[in-house]
Amino acid sequence: MTITQEAPLQAPSRTPTHNQASLIVHGRDRTGIVAAVGSVLSKHEANIVSLDQYSDNPHGGAFFQRTVFGLDNLKAALPHIDDDLKARLGTGFELEFRLRDLSIPHRVAIFASKADHCLLDLLWRHRRGELPITVAMVISNHPDTAGEVRAFGIPFFHVPSAGPDKSAAEAQHLALLKGNVDFIVLARYMQILSGGFIAEVGVPIINIHHSFLPAFIGAGPYARAKERGVKLVGATAHYVTEDLDEGPIIEQDVVRVSHAHTVADLRRRGADVERDVLSRAVLWHSEDRVIRHENHTIVFA
Ligand SMILES: Nc1nc2c(c(=O)[nH]1)N[C@@H](CN(C=O)c1ccc(C(=O)N[C@@H](CCC(=O)O)C(=O)O)cc1)CN2
């Protein structure tokens, strides 16, 4: 009997984004913004691939816009487009903007503790080409996942972080992270980050909280959900702020549960939701689809 080695399934390739850039514009709404952005892109003969926008008050509130455009000589043109946007939007408008070459993946550090389901799900999706990121490293306060992470060819750093004083651990984190990553993902990392660390690291931090916030903030949400007799459990991906689990929500989802489910059942059913919610949040952030505004987000998914 001959055993043939099936060719590995080709990872689903994401829509090619070579020679494409995203432009995020947000600020005070007024007439003329769309025309101003369009005139700059038109000057550079950029082809608008997609455009999403939202105003939170048609009579002059906040304005949010995401444009994806293509250009053959994108890398050479981007600095000139940036200069022209600064000139065009810099007078008469109260706006911020950011340009990003979509062919350049974000560099990401993933933090984890003992639970491995969200961490491994991200690494597996990354290996399949589903997430346009480069996983620069994994940092964990436990050694448990070292072997699995290294099997993906990704550096793993065990940085213990027990007790109330996290300063030594955070100093090690900063030494690894500063200038080396574009954003951080807490994949069920069970340590509270200090405000000083969040400010010092200076990049967005995405956390997956294992409840449908604002319910069950903090530790042990599944046990508290069982105690409360909930009929849904869920997960919330949010940006991390100093206030525990209070940061701007990026994505959420839920799954039905019943009185017959144990806490272990809730954890198992919730874990699937955590994985899906976190991966969508990481994808949307890595494609520059999320705009933070006050304690909310606008997501052009
Ligand atoms: N500054 C912030 N840090 C963290 C946030 C956040 O929103 N702001 N999210 C948490 C994740 N998390 C729930 O999703 C969470 C993690 C840890 C705890 C907690 O009570 N941790 C204890 C130690 C627990 C342990 O060692 O097992 C502690 O740090 O003292 C609550 C909620 C990640 N960090």
Burial class (CB in 10 A: 0-12, 13-18, 19+), 215: middle
pLDDT digits (tens, 9 = 90+) for 263-301: 999 999 999 999 999 999 999 999 999 999 999 999 999
Ligand 1 proximal residues by C-beta, below 6 Å: 186, 189-193, 207, 209, 218-219, 240, 242, 244-245, 247
* Mutation probe of ligand 1 site: the residue of 110, 224, 244, 295 with most atoms within 8 A of C-beta: 244
- 29, 121, 182, 245: the catalytic one is 245
Total residues found in the chain within this entry: 301
Return contacts of 68-72, CB within 8 angstroms, 24+ apart. 68/20, 68/21, 68/22, 68/23, 68/102, 69/20, 69/21, 69/23, 69/41, 70/19, 70/20, 70/46, 71/19, 71/21, 71/44, 71/45, 71/46, 71/47, 72/19
pLDDT at position 197 = 98
Q: Whose CA is nearest to atom 13 of ligand 1?
A: 209
* Tokens 């699937």 -> residue: 272
* Mutation probe of ligand 1 site: the residue of 161, 170, 192, 198 with most atoms within 8 A of C-beta: 192
**Annotation marks residue 243 as catalytic:** no
Q: Whose CA is nearest to atom 10 of ligand 1?
A: 192
Q: How confident is the model at residue 53 (pLDDT cuts 50, 70, 90)?
A: very high
- How many angstroms separate the alpha carbon of residue 245 from the centre of ligand 1? 8
Q: Compute the distance between CA of residue 226 and CA of residue 230 in angstroms, rounded to an integer.
A: 6
pTM above 0.90, yes or no: yes
Closest CA to 254 of 272, 234, 238: 234
- How many angstroms separate the alpha carbon of residue 244 from the centre of ligand 1? 7
- How many angstroms separate the alpha carbon of residue 157 from the centre of ligand 1? 19
- How many angstroms separate the alpha carbon of residue 217 from the centre of ligand 1? 10
User: Which atom belonging to ligand 1 lies closest to the Cα atom of 207?
Assistant: 9
CA angle 101/124/135 to nearest 5° reads: 45
Specify whether the CB–CB gap between 122 and 149 falls below 8 A: no
- How many angstroms separate the alpha carbon of residue 165 from the centre of ligand 1? 13
pLDDT digits (tens, 9 = 90+) for 187-238: 999 999 999 999 999 999 999 999 999 999 999 999 999 999 999 999 999 9
Mean pLDDT, range 142-171, rounded to an integer: 96
Q: Whose CA is nearest to atom 21 of ligand 1?
A: 191
- Domain architecture of the chain: domains with CATH: 20-101 (3.30.70.260), 106-299 (3.40.50.170)
* Tokens 């816009």 -> residue: 65
Closest CA to 186 of 282, 270, 273, 250: 282
Sequential DSSP letters for 174-202: HHHHTTT-SEEEESS--SPPPHHHHHHH-
Q: How confident is the model at residue 11 (pLDDT cuts 50, 70, 90)?
A: very low
pLDDT digits (tens, 9 = 90+) for 106-124: 999 999 999 999 999 999 9
